[in-house]
Structure 1
Amino acid sequence: MANSNLTRREILEAAAASGGALVGGQLMPGTTSPAAAQGAAGIPSPLEVVLRVNGAEHRMTLDPRTTLLDALREHLHLTGSKKGCGLGQCGACTVLMDGKRVKSCLSLAALVDGREITTIEGLAQGEQLHPLQAAFIERDAFQCGYCTSGQIMAGVACIAEGHAGSAQEIRDWMSGNLCRCGAYDHIVGAIQDAAAATGSVRRG
């Protein structure tokens, strides 16, 4: 990591300690608990983080508790990745990290320093949509659209991983991405179309 000599454990301990201090202060207003006193004096110092997002390198100074999702949305203004549950259960925040899908709400930005991150904003090549983006439009695979960016990013990974051989396989491997509008049949169809268009699988 280019930012400091802090280890993963030290970053997590700093985040946990300061978070606990804030909670302690809120639970006991008007008092100064040992945890609150420690938090006032021991809030973790900002870290220099290098994020590679959609092919561009960004040098940022972040609180070590900053999630990748917040770094993308609040600092880089890439708002395509959505905040949903904040627990890694809905998939609205899915991005690709070194080509693998991850829930960005569960990843600390400081721990992905230097990794290659791709968001929904980085899929299209100029005016040319990614095949899965085009398939989502053709199939009407979204309604409210809130989950769409996460569905597309997970779908891109699903195809790349070779898990788009059948509708059931797609459903199994896309189960971590929820659609409250219930557009699952259209999403599966779009992934099948994109897989066929890219030559990843044969349509039966």
Structure 2
Amino acid sequence: MIIKELREIDLFSDTSDEELEEDVRGVLIELKKGDHLFHEGDDAVNFYIFLEGTLEIYRIIRGEKLSIGFFTKGMSGGEVPLLSGTRHLANGIAVTDMKVFKVDQDDFWYMLGNCSTARGKILSNMSTRISALTHLSFQREKLASLGTMAAGLAHELNNPASAAKRTAESLANTIHEFDIFSTEILK
């Protein structure tokens, strides 16, 4: 086990060596620059502790890469889709060579049940990430609404004949109503 390396991670800074040996199970994996740790849509079956290097989280939207964030040494991730039972919502690619401690789903649940210090920090991290995802989703919805509104305005500006026709129809209706109203008054 890699107790010394895990001890340097904030997630386990208050955990005893005995707890680390008994409650934290996983495997050390190495990624080369350009390797994917996971892809959008993959089943979320692992929790990751980043020991060396940098992982970029990104999505492909309308054919373009949108960088969401980075995981670096000392950080952990994967708890949001793992705990919520969803698939990965983004891709994870190594932007440098990396060392990652990978904890599978069963061992993750075991660790949560038995290692109270790690459990508190993992749930706190999850809460922060869910808040960030909620904010990002809200911003995306606002941008989509603005885009729709801008498209409608552009259509109106680019199609003056349509606007003139609607105005003429409205004017004709108003004149017709005025005629009816004035006829009623004059009776």
Range of TM-score over shorter length: under 0.3
Q: Which entry has the higher C-alpha Rg, 1 or 2?
A: 2
- Of Structure 1 and Structure 2, the greater strand share is in 2
TM-score, normalising length: structure 2: 0.25
